[in-house]
Structure 1
Amino acid sequence: MSGAPSGEPFQPLGDDDPAVVGGYRLAAVLGAGGMGKVYLSFTPGGRPVALKVIRSEFSQDPEFRRRFQREVQSAQRVQGLYTAPVIDFDTDGARPWLATAYVPGPSLAEAVSTYGALPLRSVLLLTVGAAEALHVIHAAGIVHRDLKPANVLLAPDGPRVIDFGIARAADNTALTGTGVSVGTPSFMAPEQAAGGTVTPATDIFALGQIAAYAAIGAPAYGGGPSHAVLYRIVHEEPDLSRLPSELRPLVARCLSREPAERPALTEVIDLCHGLSTDPLRQGGDWLPQTLAGSLTARQHLPEPVRTPPPALPTPTAYSPQPPPPGGVDPYAPTGFGPASAPTQTAPGRPGTAPAGPGFPPAPPPVVSGQQNWAPPPPPRRKKNRGLVIAGAVAAAVIGLAVINALLPDGSGKDGSGKDNAKQPTAGSSGGASGGKRPDPQPAEYKGIDLTENYFVMLADNPPRPTSKDGNPGFSSKGDVFYQPRVLNVVERDEIGTGNGKLVLLQSGQQGSLDTCRSETRYSESIRLDQLSDGSQLCVLSDAGHIAVATYRGKSGANDPSKYITLDLTIWRNAEDPQKKG
């Protein structure tokens, strides 16, 4: 999915484009690609975002949805200076989408197509910026897999790498054999083209391709049919004769067919600095003047289109002033959009303002382009104020007498002598006084050895590691589980939850019930390499239980089984259960 199409940077919305996605009001079309369409929108604070809506064909594939959710959550951890960070997403809706920071610049593909090859200094700055971006992406356990000119944007202050890891969600799904193209053959590595193992070295091959494309204005392996390009990538050497002589050794090493022979990213950066006569510093002069001047148009952003609301009906004879409309603005924001305050229907997800105390009743909807308002009723005849008050007092006295007769006496027994006093439950508010219910007493469990692919439930007393159906294997229903995972061929161990939220406490924070209740830095998994002996994390289960898990280390290399050790302090029924659905 590219950041912008060729030609004008902002295209108007078409008839088949939605007006609002996930509460974001769309302003223009930025581009389209194999996986979906990209729109311009804004956050409530006015910051522009690129909102990417996935194609319906992918949306109908459950395996794609599962992978897409995992990859987007991984991409949220990437916060490099040369990337466009993911700021919001929805993987469960009818059309999955994600929003990233908007980059006011063309893609490398568009820039080369319009202005031709870049000068050597621009190529070097492009290469070191993209290499630094890949370094941050790989550190998050992600392999980009689809680094190509359309996924490198040229901002005024340096390049930005986008769409890292997202292409993996489409690999090996039902769509890969139906003619839907996701990758770009001209920029694949040999092992990728041959269906082999993809590693971080795969991205270094693509980085060499990016440098060559920027310097000569064409792919290093030429064009033509996809199968012909892939054959040359796997079996032949690239034609680097048109490259500046200074770049040839670096690009040739990046394009080695053997992944082990390609340089590390730090080495790529050092070699680029060695090739430049001046220090490589990103800034407003990193691009040629003709290209830099074209960026101005991308900084004048269009606003979301608002169609004027329909005219109000003519006032009636008994309504001397125009009555206020009872309908709603069909273009008013419905949630997390630029002209509305964010309102919540579920934690972390924008929606419509709720009804209830402090909120006005919902207005009637707009029907057939008319505002559905009703004229005020004719004025009523005034009643005798004294009689009304006297009647209300009498009714109140009678009502209190009836209620007192029906209530049990202070002993909690009715006329039959049966004890009817209600004890406050875990979900009650603490009795008739309406006060806050008392906090549950903590239960402590030391030295729980949690084997890989096993989980514990906080409600169990004591919490015993178990597995799905009694067989070794991972279950997403666990409150706390330990699982080794492979993400884009990068293996890492994680503590996770399939039934709630986790919060890794910072140094200096003391794990307690109040701390866990106040924290909002939620996650569904935490890597073991983020933990040391004594690290604490909060576990907030959907069933209402809260725990502080203290990490005590993992099994040694010589242990016959692989496990981690946890101390658990559990407050059961500390909160109301989360409603599902």
Structure 2
Amino acid sequence: MVDRAEPSEIFQALEADDPARVGAYELVARLGVGGMGKVYLSYTPAGRPVAIKVIRIELADDSEFRRRFHQEVTAAQRVHGLYTAPVIDSDTEVSQPWLATAFVPGPTLASAVARHGALPVPTVLLLTAGVAEALQAVHAAGLVHRDLKPSNVLLASDGPRVIDFGIARAADATSLTGTGVAVGTPAFMAPEQAAGRELGPATDVFALGQVATYAAKGAPAYGEGSSHAVLYRIVHEEPDLTAVPEALRPLLTRCLAKEPGERPSLAEVVDMCRAASGDSRLRRSEDWLPGIVAADITRHQAVPVQPAAGHPATVPVPPSPAHHAPTMSAVRLDASPLPPQGPPTHPRSAHPAQQVGHPYGGHLPGDAPGMTPPDGMAPGSVAPGNRRQNRGILVAAGVLGTLLLTAGGCAALLNTFDSKDSTTSGQNSAKGGGSTTRATPKLPRPKPVSYPSVQLPDGYHLEFADDPLQPRDSNYDDLYASCDVSWGCTLGSYDTKLVLLNNAEKGSLDTCRATTRYTDRIDQKQLSRGSQICVRTESGHIALLTYKGASAESDPSRYLTFDVKVWRNAVDPT
């Protein structure tokens, strides 16, 4: 990830499928897009910038999600803390529910650490105490954050801000989670969350320990690698605190206790921060952040100009944007045993903590599954014939005055959004406001190429640009298999988007283009003969995999077998 994403990438031009208004809010720029929806920049009537989060239509169509979303938004509006970004407006009854939160100009902790490295001890103590106080306000409203991570912590000039509190629970039991998607970021989950047990305030304390560790050492407490491997370490192993300054270790060790009852209360966390700092009042000055990080805040304050009635917003043309890679997608978790290790780390992958770019200006809500707001990832080499080009954000000049990217930007405010594509016109109705629809360009319909009975062995991968399609063992690229005797095989990806179709969906090019409930991992136990999986690569290829079975226990090799159909160059490259 660790691309040095510039703030100018935060404010993106509205595209054809973006609404012009949401409720009473005229939209100015897109701040991010991903697993739960899209986030936009707007203004209140008095001119204060706000972040508008619009929920994906697939989630909005789920009655259980809608019910929970209403409950969580209502509870979130009761959260009043100095270290939280408040929810100021919402409409949960329209076809695509939305909520508005205060816009906080400042980078996410994920972005700051990815760009500048670990933070000094005094900053980490002030950060930890501030986040602890924010969580106290969240818990007082009857919520558990459930997805606290560096990309959900914003660094403002007067202290941290916690965002996206409680909202993750709304998607935790929808019909979509049963098809391979679960809420939460693996590297920052608590053991009870990884095992599917009941969550409580102590779950957030564990996540706070992980966030503080990340700030202090520049890496997650339980290392990097596949989701399975990281979750196994969280449940069964001790955190790696060797690179953490000695003054912070007692605090972090207690927060990262395996048993919830052994973790400190949030009040105790604040007291321990005071004791470690030697300042009983933990005085927070204007220079609580290192100068190089504080400088980012100034750049994040360059929000696009609020448009006059009937006119588009305009912003300065920024330099060419830096490379961006998607955030890690959400993964399905359950109480089954976790593998002792995962597949080798992809050379181009980065741990989810470093996913840099939250779609909300200064703040972003929660990777999903990457959007995550999405954090930047360092590019790497790829095999010839499958060269990937991550396009910079395209600026559509001349359409209704054109909204251009700003030279300044902010890290995002609600949950990180990683999924960017949509083949249907976007529309949002809102309180007192109509919906706006824009036409989408016609996509090509390439001729499919079929590959019957492709066997994908453990440790091998497929690249869908290859013809003929043959498993490779040189590198993990579009789709890989990772198998273990005790827990079976898993299909995984790093930059590729996977969707396990349900029984009501017919596998086709149109289906694979339209469905957006992405994941980066599908377990063998979720498959039965005839199950179909849509695969969408960064290069713009779409594949449909039809599951035929797996190797027998007596077979010396472990593998999965699929009939594969590939439409090459079926969508624009990511």
Which category of TM-score, normalised to the shorter sequence, fits these structures?
Answer: 0.5 to 0.7
Cα shift at 1:301: 1.6
Q: Is 1:209 matched with 2:210?
A: yes
CA contact (8 A) 2:172 2:182 kept: no
SS of corresponding position for 2:247: coil
Cα shift at 1:11: 2.0
**1:401-448: per-residue Cα shift (whole Å, max 9, x none)?**
xxxxxxxxxxxxxxxxxxxxxxxxxxxxxxxxxxxxxxxxxxxxxxxx
TM-score of the pair, normalised by structure 2:
0.52
Q: Is 1:292 matched with 2:286?
A: no
Give matches, 1:153-552, under 5 Å. Answer: 153-180=154-181, 182-278=183-279, 279-304=281-306, 349-351=431-433
Cα shift at 1:62: 1.0
- In structure 1, the partner of 2:526 is none
Alpha-carbon distance between aligned partners in 1 of 2:61 and 2:307, rounded to the nearest angstrom: 30
Alpha-carbon distance between aligned partners in 1 of 2:245 and 2:285, rounded to the nearest angstrom: 23
- In structure 2, the partner of 1:115 is 116
CA spacing shift, 1:181–1:247, aligned 2, 3 Å:
same
- In structure 2, the partner of 1:143 is 144
CA contact (8 A) 2:7 2:299 kept: no
Amino acid at match of 1:100: T
CA contact (8 A) 1:122 1:287 kept: yes
Amino acid at match of 2:87: V
Cα shift at 1:266: 0.6
Amino acid at match of 2:84: T
CA contact (8 A) 1:34 1:181 kept: no
SS of corresponding position for 1:246: helix
Cα shift at 1:21: 1.1
Amino acid at match of 1:286: W
SS of corresponding position for 1:70: helix
- In structure 2, the partner of 1:35 is 36
Alpha-carbon distance between aligned partners in 2 of 1:171 and 1:5, rounded to the nearest angstrom: 30
CA spacing shift, 1:274–1:289, aligned 2, 3 Å:
same
- In structure 2, the partner of 1:93 is 94
**1:193-223: per-residue Cα shift (whole Å, max 9, x none)?**
0000101000000000010000111110011
Alpha-carbon distance between aligned partners in 1 of 2:105 and 2:82, rounded to the nearest angstrom: 15
Cα shift at 1:31: 2.5
SS of corresponding position for 1:100: strand
Cα shift at 1:180: 3.9
Cα shift at 1:303: 2.4
SS of corresponding position for 2:93: coil
**1:287-329: per-residue Cα shift (whole Å, max 9, x none)?**
110110111122222025679889xxxxxxxxxxxxxxxxxxx
Q: Is 1:65 matched with 2:77?
A: no
Alpha-carbon distance between aligned partners in 2 of 1:309 and 1:252, rounded to the nearest angstrom: 54
- In structure 2, the partner of 1:547 is none
CA spacing shift, 1:281–1:94, aligned 2, 3 Å:
same
CA contact (8 A) 1:5 1:30 kept: no
SS of corresponding position for 2:42: strand
**1:241-272: per-residue Cα shift (whole Å, max 9, x none)?**
01000101110100000000000111100110
CA spacing shift, 1:104–1:150, aligned 2, 3 Å:
same
Amino acid at match of 2:101: T
Cα shift at 1:228: 0.8
CA spacing shift, 1:37–1:308, aligned 2, 3 Å:
closer
Alpha-carbon distance between aligned partners in 1 of 2:310 and 2:262, rounded to the nearest angstrom: 62
Cα shift at 1:94: 1.6
Alpha-carbon distance between aligned partners in 1 of 2:6 and 2:76, rounded to the nearest angstrom: 27
SS of corresponding position for 2:154: strand
- In structure 1, the partner of 2:14 is 13
Cα shift at 1:282: 2.5
Amino acid at match of 1:211: A
TM-score of the pair, normalised by structure 1:
0.52
SS of corresponding position for 1:117: coil
CA contact (8 A) 2:190 2:203 kept: yes
Among the aligned pairs, what percent are the same residue?
65
Cα shift at 1:181: 5.0
Higher relative contact order (CA 8 A, sep 6+): 2
Alpha-carbon distance between aligned partners in 2 of 1:205 and 1:72, rounded to the nearest angstrom: 24
CA contact (8 A) 1:5 1:32 kept: no
Cα shift at 1:117: 1.0
CA contact (8 A) 1:31 1:38 kept: yes
Alpha-carbon distance between aligned partners in 2 of 1:42 and 1:307, rounded to the nearest angstrom: 12
Alpha-carbon distance between aligned partners in 1 of 2:39 and 2:183, rounded to the nearest angstrom: 15
Alpha-carbon distance between aligned partners in 2 of 1:133 and 1:269, rounded to the nearest angstrom: 11
- In structure 1, the partner of 2:507 is none
